[in-house]
Amino acid sequence: MSDNLLESKSGKGGKTASAEKGGGIKAKGDKGQKTEKPEKTQPTPRVRPAVPVKVAIVEEGDITSSLVFDSVLETESSIEIFAESSGVILEVLVEEGDRVKQGQILARLESDMQQVDADEAEARYEHEKLNNQRMVELHERKLINLQEFETAKFNLEQMRLRYERASIQLENTVVRATVDGVITERLAQVGRRVTANRQLYTMMNLDELHANVNVSGQHLLNVKQGLEAVIDSDLIEGVQYDAFVRLVSPVVDPGSGTFKVKVAVLQDNGMPIYPGMFVNVRIIVDNRKDSILIPKDAVVHEGDLKYIYTVQEGKARKQLLQEGYSNVEFVQATSGVNRGDAVIVMGHNALKDGANVKVVTDSVASENAETTHPATAEG
Protein backbone atom coordinates (compact mmCIF):
# COMPACT_ATOMS: atom_id res chain seq x y z
CA MET A 1 0.00 0.00 0.00
CA SER A 2 1.29 3.45 -0.98
CA ASP A 3 2.15 5.99 1.73
CA ASN A 4 0.53 8.82 -0.29
CA LEU A 5 -2.70 7.16 -1.40
CA LEU A 6 -5.29 5.14 0.58
CA GLU A 7 -8.06 3.39 -1.35
CA SER A 8 -11.19 1.72 0.23
CA LYS A 9 -14.18 -0.06 -1.23
CA SER A 10 -17.61 -0.35 0.42
CA GLY A 11 -19.51 -3.11 -1.36
CA LYS A 12 -21.43 -3.05 -4.58
CA GLY A 13 -22.00 0.33 -6.08
CA GLY A 14 -19.70 1.89 -3.48
CA LYS A 15 -17.86 5.21 -4.04
CA THR A 16 -14.12 5.46 -4.16
CA ALA A 17 -12.30 8.30 -2.29
CA SER A 18 -8.66 9.18 -2.35
CA ALA A 19 -6.69 11.23 0.18
CA GLU A 20 -3.31 12.84 -0.09
CA LYS A 21 -1.13 13.70 2.82
CA GLY A 22 -1.28 17.33 3.66
CA GLY A 23 -4.24 17.95 1.30
CA GLY A 24 -8.00 18.02 1.52
CA ILE A 25 -10.35 15.11 0.75
CA LYS A 26 -12.13 15.13 -2.56
CA ALA A 27 -15.24 12.93 -2.72
CA LYS A 28 -16.54 11.70 -6.06
CA GLY A 29 -20.23 11.52 -6.67
CA ASP A 30 -21.13 13.14 -3.34
CA LYS A 31 -23.67 15.83 -4.17
CA GLY A 32 -23.88 17.15 -0.64
CA GLN A 33 -20.23 18.10 -0.32
CA LYS A 34 -18.62 21.29 -1.89
CA THR A 35 -15.03 21.72 -3.02
CA GLU A 36 -12.93 23.85 -0.64
CA LYS A 37 -10.79 26.57 -2.31
CA PRO A 38 -7.75 28.19 -0.65
CA GLU A 39 -8.07 31.91 0.22
CA LYS A 40 -6.23 34.38 -2.04
CA THR A 41 -3.51 36.44 -0.33
CA GLN A 42 -2.97 40.16 -1.24
CA PRO A 43 0.57 40.94 -2.58
CA THR A 44 2.67 43.15 -0.31
CA PRO A 45 3.08 46.60 -2.00
CA ARG A 46 6.65 47.31 -3.08
CA VAL A 47 8.10 50.41 -1.40
CA ARG A 48 10.73 52.27 -3.37
CA PRO A 49 13.78 53.18 -1.30
CA ALA A 50 14.35 56.88 -0.64
CA VAL A 51 16.89 58.47 -2.96
CA PRO A 52 19.75 60.19 -1.10
CA VAL A 53 20.04 63.83 -2.13
CA LYS A 54 21.88 66.93 -1.07
CA VAL A 55 19.97 70.19 -0.77
CA ALA A 56 20.68 73.90 -0.51
CA ILE A 57 18.45 76.43 1.20
CA VAL A 58 17.18 79.19 -1.07
CA GLU A 59 18.33 82.65 0.00
CA GLU A 60 17.87 86.23 -1.10
CA GLY A 61 20.67 88.34 -2.51
CA ASP A 62 21.73 90.80 -5.17
CA ILE A 63 22.30 89.73 -8.76
CA THR A 64 23.43 91.80 -11.71
CA SER A 65 22.94 91.91 -15.45
CA SER A 66 26.18 92.41 -17.33
CA LEU A 67 27.57 92.81 -20.81
CA VAL A 68 30.72 90.73 -21.29
CA PHE A 69 33.50 91.43 -23.79
CA ASP A 70 37.03 90.35 -24.66
CA SER A 71 39.61 93.11 -24.94
CA VAL A 72 43.27 94.04 -24.52
CA LEU A 73 44.57 96.38 -21.82
CA GLU A 74 46.04 99.63 -23.04
CA THR A 75 47.66 102.61 -21.38
CA GLU A 76 46.72 106.22 -21.95
CA SER A 77 50.16 107.00 -23.31
CA SER A 78 53.67 105.67 -23.77
CA ILE A 79 56.12 108.19 -22.31
CA GLU A 80 59.59 108.68 -23.77
CA ILE A 81 62.36 110.03 -21.55
CA PHE A 82 65.06 112.10 -23.31
CA ALA A 83 68.44 113.44 -22.29
CA GLU A 84 68.26 117.19 -21.67
CA SER A 85 72.01 117.67 -21.72
CA SER A 86 74.98 116.39 -23.68
CA GLY A 87 77.64 114.21 -22.13
CA VAL A 88 78.77 110.73 -21.19
CA ILE A 89 76.39 108.53 -19.19
CA LEU A 90 78.02 107.79 -15.82
CA GLU A 91 75.24 105.82 -14.08
CA VAL A 92 72.17 103.81 -15.10
CA LEU A 93 70.00 103.32 -12.01
CA VAL A 94 66.88 101.49 -13.27
CA GLU A 95 66.13 98.57 -15.54
CA GLU A 96 63.20 97.46 -17.67
CA GLY A 97 60.27 96.39 -15.52
CA ASP A 98 61.20 98.62 -12.59
CA ARG A 99 58.41 100.71 -11.08
CA VAL A 100 59.45 104.30 -10.59
CA LYS A 101 57.96 107.40 -8.99
CA GLN A 102 57.73 110.83 -10.53
CA GLY A 103 61.03 112.65 -10.00
CA GLN A 104 63.02 109.48 -9.30
CA ILE A 105 66.57 109.51 -10.72
CA LEU A 106 66.96 107.12 -13.67
CA ALA A 107 70.50 107.97 -14.86
CA ARG A 108 73.32 110.48 -14.41
CA LEU A 109 75.48 112.16 -17.05
CA GLU A 110 78.90 113.72 -16.55
CA SER A 111 78.49 117.18 -15.03
CA ASP A 112 81.96 118.65 -14.39
CA MET A 113 81.61 121.58 -16.78
CA GLN A 114 78.04 122.28 -15.72
CA GLN A 115 79.12 122.28 -12.08
CA VAL A 116 81.88 124.82 -12.80
CA ASP A 117 79.49 127.06 -14.72
CA ALA A 118 76.95 126.89 -11.90
CA ASP A 119 79.54 127.71 -9.23
CA GLU A 120 80.85 130.67 -11.25
CA ALA A 121 77.34 132.00 -11.88
CA GLU A 122 76.51 131.69 -8.19
CA ALA A 123 79.63 133.63 -7.20
CA ARG A 124 78.87 136.44 -9.64
CA TYR A 125 75.29 136.57 -8.44
CA GLU A 126 76.33 136.84 -4.79
CA HIS A 127 78.83 139.57 -5.66
CA GLU A 128 76.21 141.51 -7.55
CA LYS A 129 73.79 141.25 -4.63
CA LEU A 130 76.34 142.95 -2.37
CA ASN A 131 77.00 145.61 -4.97
CA ASN A 132 73.32 146.24 -5.41
CA GLN A 133 72.86 146.61 -1.66
CA ARG A 134 75.48 149.39 -1.64
CA MET A 135 73.80 151.09 -4.56
CA VAL A 136 70.49 151.07 -2.69
CA GLU A 137 72.10 152.80 0.27
CA LEU A 138 73.75 155.39 -1.98
CA HIS A 139 70.49 156.04 -3.77
CA GLU A 140 68.66 156.57 -0.47
CA ARG A 141 71.34 159.12 0.50
CA LYS A 142 70.95 160.82 -2.89
CA LEU A 143 74.58 160.12 -3.75
CA ILE A 144 73.80 158.47 -7.10
CA ASN A 145 71.28 159.35 -9.73
CA LEU A 146 68.31 157.22 -10.76
CA GLN A 147 70.00 155.88 -13.90
CA GLU A 148 72.92 154.44 -11.94
CA PHE A 149 70.50 152.89 -9.48
CA GLU A 150 68.42 151.29 -12.27
CA THR A 151 71.58 149.95 -13.93
CA ALA A 152 72.58 148.24 -10.68
CA LYS A 153 69.15 146.61 -10.40
CA PHE A 154 69.38 145.41 -14.02
CA ASN A 155 72.84 143.89 -13.47
CA LEU A 156 71.60 142.04 -10.40
CA GLU A 157 68.70 140.56 -12.34
CA GLN A 158 71.05 139.48 -15.12
CA MET A 159 73.32 137.69 -12.66
CA ARG A 160 70.31 135.97 -11.09
CA LEU A 161 69.10 134.68 -14.45
CA ARG A 162 72.59 133.44 -15.39
CA TYR A 163 72.82 131.59 -12.11
CA GLU A 164 69.40 129.99 -12.61
CA ARG A 165 70.32 128.96 -16.16
CA ALA A 166 73.57 127.37 -14.99
CA SER A 167 71.72 125.56 -12.19
CA ILE A 168 69.19 124.19 -14.68
CA GLN A 169 71.96 122.98 -16.98
CA LEU A 170 73.57 121.24 -14.03
CA GLU A 171 70.26 119.66 -13.02
CA ASN A 172 69.71 118.48 -16.60
CA THR A 173 72.66 116.10 -16.27
CA VAL A 174 70.39 114.07 -13.97
CA VAL A 175 67.69 112.08 -15.83
CA ARG A 176 64.43 111.78 -13.86
CA ALA A 177 61.06 110.06 -14.32
CA THR A 178 58.39 112.50 -15.44
CA VAL A 179 55.46 110.44 -14.07
CA ASP A 180 54.80 107.38 -11.92
CA GLY A 181 55.03 104.24 -14.01
CA VAL A 182 57.03 101.26 -15.19
CA ILE A 183 60.16 101.27 -17.32
CA THR A 184 59.31 99.37 -20.50
CA GLU A 185 62.50 100.07 -22.50
CA ARG A 186 66.03 101.09 -21.50
CA LEU A 187 68.27 102.60 -24.16
CA ALA A 188 70.75 104.27 -21.82
CA GLN A 189 74.14 102.57 -21.46
CA VAL A 190 76.97 103.49 -19.12
CA GLY A 191 79.87 105.10 -21.00
CA ARG A 192 77.84 106.11 -24.04
CA ARG A 193 78.05 109.75 -25.08
CA VAL A 194 74.66 111.24 -25.80
CA THR A 195 73.43 114.56 -27.06
CA ALA A 196 70.48 116.57 -25.85
CA ASN A 197 67.12 115.16 -26.98
CA ARG A 198 68.50 111.63 -27.27
CA GLN A 199 65.93 109.06 -26.05
CA LEU A 200 67.12 107.12 -22.99
CA TYR A 201 63.99 105.33 -21.68
CA THR A 202 60.38 104.47 -22.47
CA MET A 203 57.89 104.15 -19.63
CA MET A 204 54.17 103.72 -19.12
CA ASN A 205 51.81 105.02 -16.47
CA LEU A 206 50.10 101.86 -15.24
CA ASP A 207 47.70 103.84 -13.07
CA GLU A 208 45.78 104.83 -16.18
CA LEU A 209 45.05 101.51 -17.88
CA HIS A 210 41.89 100.98 -19.86
CA ALA A 211 40.19 98.52 -22.17
CA ASN A 212 38.26 99.52 -25.28
CA VAL A 213 35.18 97.47 -26.18
CA ASN A 214 32.67 97.70 -29.01
CA VAL A 215 29.11 97.47 -27.73
CA SER A 216 26.10 96.61 -29.87
CA GLY A 217 24.00 99.64 -30.72
CA GLN A 218 20.96 98.09 -29.03
CA HIS A 219 22.60 98.84 -25.66
CA LEU A 220 23.27 102.50 -26.42
CA LEU A 221 20.66 103.67 -23.90
CA ASN A 222 21.82 101.22 -21.20
CA VAL A 223 25.57 101.87 -21.16
CA LYS A 224 26.34 105.18 -19.50
CA GLN A 225 29.46 106.93 -18.25
CA GLY A 226 30.25 105.96 -14.65
CA LEU A 227 28.72 102.47 -14.72
CA GLU A 228 30.55 99.90 -12.61
CA ALA A 229 32.57 97.21 -14.35
CA VAL A 230 34.83 94.28 -13.49
CA ILE A 231 37.97 93.17 -15.33
CA ASP A 232 39.86 89.89 -14.99
CA SER A 233 42.46 87.99 -16.95
CA ASP A 234 43.12 84.30 -17.48
CA LEU A 235 46.79 85.12 -16.89
CA ILE A 236 46.04 86.08 -13.27
CA GLU A 237 43.57 83.50 -12.02
CA GLY A 238 41.21 84.37 -9.21
CA VAL A 239 41.92 88.11 -9.28
CA GLN A 240 39.37 90.72 -10.28
CA TYR A 241 39.89 94.44 -10.77
CA ASP A 242 37.24 97.06 -10.17
CA ALA A 243 36.65 99.31 -13.16
CA PHE A 244 34.20 101.86 -14.49
CA VAL A 245 32.95 103.22 -17.80
CA ARG A 246 35.07 106.31 -18.48
CA LEU A 247 33.89 107.29 -21.96
CA VAL A 248 30.96 106.34 -24.18
CA SER A 249 31.07 107.28 -27.83
CA PRO A 250 27.82 108.91 -28.98
CA VAL A 251 28.34 107.62 -32.51
CA VAL A 252 27.30 104.17 -33.76
CA ASP A 253 29.54 102.74 -36.47
CA PRO A 254 27.24 102.13 -39.46
CA GLY A 255 29.39 99.27 -40.68
CA SER A 256 29.45 97.18 -37.48
CA GLY A 257 26.43 98.61 -35.68
CA THR A 258 28.52 99.12 -32.54
CA PHE A 259 29.73 102.06 -30.48
CA LYS A 260 33.03 102.42 -28.63
CA VAL A 261 33.23 102.31 -24.84
CA LYS A 262 36.39 102.95 -22.79
CA VAL A 263 36.53 101.08 -19.47
CA ALA A 264 39.12 102.36 -16.97
CA VAL A 265 40.80 100.01 -14.46
CA LEU A 266 41.02 100.82 -10.75
CA GLN A 267 44.16 99.11 -9.45
CA ASP A 268 43.30 99.11 -5.78
CA ASN A 269 43.81 95.45 -4.87
CA GLY A 270 47.60 95.46 -4.79
CA MET A 271 47.98 93.03 -7.70
CA PRO A 272 49.86 94.33 -10.77
CA ILE A 273 48.28 94.26 -14.20
CA TYR A 274 50.01 95.29 -17.41
CA PRO A 275 49.27 96.72 -20.85
CA GLY A 276 48.91 94.15 -23.61
CA MET A 277 47.19 91.56 -21.41
CA PHE A 278 44.06 89.89 -22.77
CA VAL A 279 41.20 90.58 -20.37
CA ASN A 280 37.52 89.87 -19.85
CA VAL A 281 35.44 93.01 -19.37
CA ARG A 282 32.06 92.88 -17.63
CA ILE A 283 29.97 96.06 -17.63
CA ILE A 284 27.20 95.97 -15.01
CA VAL A 285 24.06 97.49 -16.53
CA ASP A 286 21.52 96.48 -13.85
CA ASN A 287 21.47 95.27 -10.24
CA ARG A 288 18.47 93.48 -8.75
CA LYS A 289 18.52 93.50 -4.97
CA ASP A 290 16.88 90.94 -2.64
CA SER A 291 16.36 88.43 -5.45
CA ILE A 292 15.57 84.75 -4.95
CA LEU A 293 18.84 83.02 -5.79
CA ILE A 294 19.15 79.32 -6.64
CA PRO A 295 22.51 77.54 -7.01
CA LYS A 296 23.21 76.60 -10.61
CA ASP A 297 23.88 73.03 -9.45
CA ALA A 298 20.14 72.76 -8.77
CA VAL A 299 19.12 73.40 -12.38
CA VAL A 300 18.16 70.41 -14.55
CA HIS A 301 18.09 70.94 -18.32
CA GLU A 302 15.50 69.13 -20.42
CA GLY A 303 15.65 70.35 -23.98
CA ASP A 304 15.04 74.09 -24.01
CA LEU A 305 13.40 74.03 -20.57
CA LYS A 306 14.96 74.25 -17.14
CA TYR A 307 13.64 72.60 -13.98
CA ILE A 308 14.47 72.38 -10.31
CA TYR A 309 13.50 69.87 -7.62
CA THR A 310 12.41 71.00 -4.19
CA VAL A 311 11.98 68.74 -1.17
CA GLN A 312 8.50 68.78 0.35
CA GLU A 313 7.51 66.30 3.09
CA GLY A 314 10.16 63.81 2.06
CA LYS A 315 9.31 63.88 -1.65
CA ALA A 316 10.93 65.51 -4.66
CA ARG A 317 8.72 68.04 -6.40
CA LYS A 318 9.62 69.04 -9.93
CA GLN A 319 9.12 72.69 -10.86
CA LEU A 320 9.60 74.62 -14.07
CA LEU A 321 12.20 77.32 -13.49
CA GLN A 322 11.19 80.85 -14.39
CA GLU A 323 14.64 82.32 -14.88
CA GLY A 324 15.80 85.91 -14.51
CA TYR A 325 19.43 87.02 -14.32
CA SER A 326 22.25 84.55 -13.73
CA ASN A 327 25.94 84.56 -12.92
CA VAL A 328 28.65 81.97 -12.41
CA GLU A 329 27.13 80.59 -9.20
CA PHE A 330 23.45 81.48 -9.07
CA VAL A 331 20.34 81.91 -11.16
CA GLN A 332 17.48 84.19 -10.23
CA ALA A 333 14.06 82.55 -9.84
CA THR A 334 11.31 85.03 -10.68
CA SER A 335 8.40 82.91 -9.39
CA GLY A 336 7.45 79.62 -7.75
CA VAL A 337 10.30 79.50 -5.21
CA ASN A 338 10.53 81.20 -1.85
CA ARG A 339 13.28 82.03 0.57
CA GLY A 340 13.95 79.05 2.84
CA ASP A 341 12.86 76.38 0.33
CA ALA A 342 15.14 73.35 0.02
CA VAL A 343 16.31 72.72 -3.55
CA ILE A 344 18.15 69.56 -4.57
CA VAL A 345 21.70 70.21 -5.81
CA MET A 346 23.04 66.64 -5.89
CA GLY A 347 21.30 63.38 -6.73
CA HIS A 348 18.60 64.94 -8.91
CA ASN A 349 19.69 63.73 -12.34
CA ALA A 350 17.69 60.48 -12.05
CA LEU A 351 14.76 61.80 -10.03
CA LYS A 352 11.11 61.76 -10.97
CA ASP A 353 8.44 64.05 -9.66
CA GLY A 354 7.11 62.68 -6.37
CA ALA A 355 10.02 60.33 -5.67
CA ASN A 356 10.88 59.58 -2.06
CA VAL A 357 14.08 61.34 -1.06
CA LYS A 358 16.34 61.46 1.94
CA VAL A 359 18.45 64.51 2.64
CA VAL A 360 22.03 63.51 3.42
CA THR A 361 25.40 65.16 3.89
CA ASP A 362 27.93 65.85 1.16
CA SER A 363 29.92 62.65 1.67
CA VAL A 364 26.91 60.35 1.65
CA ALA A 365 25.40 62.07 -1.37
CA SER A 366 28.67 61.73 -3.29
CA GLU A 367 28.91 58.01 -2.53
CA ASN A 368 25.37 57.37 -3.72
CA ALA A 369 25.22 59.77 -6.65
CA GLU A 370 26.55 57.26 -9.20
CA THR A 371 24.73 54.18 -7.87
CA THR A 372 21.21 55.60 -7.55
CA HIS A 373 18.63 54.02 -9.89
CA PRO A 374 15.81 56.01 -11.46
CA ALA A 375 13.13 56.66 -8.88
CA THR A 376 9.44 56.35 -9.66
CA ALA A 377 6.69 58.30 -7.97
CA GLU A 378 4.66 56.24 -5.53
CA GLY A 379 1.00 56.95 -5.10
124 and 194 housed in the same domain: yes
283 and 293 housed in the same domain: no
Is residue 178 classed as helix, strand or coil in its secondary structure? coil
84 and 150 housed in the same domain: yes
Residue 12 pLDDT > 90: no
Q: What is the per-residue pLDDT across 338-371, written as a single tens digit (0 to 9) for each?
A: 999 999 999 888 788 988 888 987 654 444 444 4
Is residue 40 assigned to a domain?
no
196 and 93 housed in the same domain: yes
CATH code at 348?
Answer: 2.40.420.20
72 and 212 housed in the same domain: yes
Domain that holds residue 56: 51-62+289-369
Higher confidence at residue 316 or residue 71?
A: 71
CATH code at 185?
Answer: 2.40.50.100
320 and 297 housed in the same domain: yes
204, 219, 245: which is the final residue of a domain?
A: 204
CATH code at 214?
Answer: 2.40.30.170
In total, how many domains does the chain have?
Answer: 3
Residue 252 pLDDT > 50: yes
**Are 193 and 110 within 8 A, CB to CB?**
no
- Range name among 27-31, 186-190, 220-224, 326-330 with the lowest pLDDT average: 27-31
pLDDT at 181: 87
Is residue 271 assigned to a domain?
yes
Separation CA 208–CA 191 (nearest Å): 34
58 and 70 housed in the same domain: no
Higher confidence at residue 86 or residue 16?
A: 86
pLDDT at 207: 78
- DSSP one-letter string for 229-270: EEEEETTEEEEEEEEEEEEE-S---TTTSEEEEEEEE---SS
99 and 247 housed in the same domain: no
228 and 310 housed in the same domain: no
- DSSP one-letter string for 26-44: EESS-TT-PPP-PPPPPPP
With CA atoms as reference, report the closest residue to 292 among 340, 327, 256, 259.
340
196 and 217 housed in the same domain: no
- Range name among 26-35, 128-137, 294-303 with the lowest pLDDT average: 26-35
* pLDDT, average across residues 160-180: 94
| Number of Cβ within a 10 Å radius of residue 163 | 21
210 and 279 housed in the same domain: yes
Residue 84 pLDDT > 90: yes
Is residue 28 assigned to a domain?
no
Q: To 5 degrees, how large is the angle CA 365–CA 367–CA 369?
A: 60
- Range name among 121-135, 214-228, 267-281 with the lowest pLDDT average: 267-281
204, 227, 255: which is the final residue of a domain?
A: 204
* pLDDT, average across residues 281-297: 93
pLDDT at 40: 61
* pLDDT, average across residues 307-336: 90
With CA atoms as reference, report the closest residue to 211 among 264, 277, 258, 250.
264
Please name the helix (run of DSSP H) or strand (run of DSSP E) that holds residue 193, with its range, or none: strand 193-194
Is residue 20 assigned to a domain?
no
Is residue 163 assigned to a domain?
yes
260 and 335 housed in the same domain: no
Q: What is the per-residue pLDDT across 34-64, written as a single tens digit (0 to 9) for each?
A: 555 566 666 666 667 888 999 999 999 999 8
pLDDT at 134: 92
Residue 11 pLDDT > 50: no
Is residue 212 assigned to a domain?
yes
Is residue 251 assigned to a domain?
yes
* pLDDT, average across residues 118-134: 93
Is residue 283 assigned to a domain?
yes
Residue 14 pLDDT > 60: no
137, 170, 204: which is the final residue of a domain?
A: 204
Dihedral sign from CA coordinates of 83, 85, 88, 90: negative
| Number of Cβ within a 10 Å radius of residue 57 | 10
Q: What is the per-residue pLDDT across 131-148, written as a single tens digit (0 to 9) for each?
A: 999 999 998 988 889 999
Residue 150 pLDDT > 50: yes
Average pLDDT, the chain: 84
Residue 275 pLDDT > 60: yes
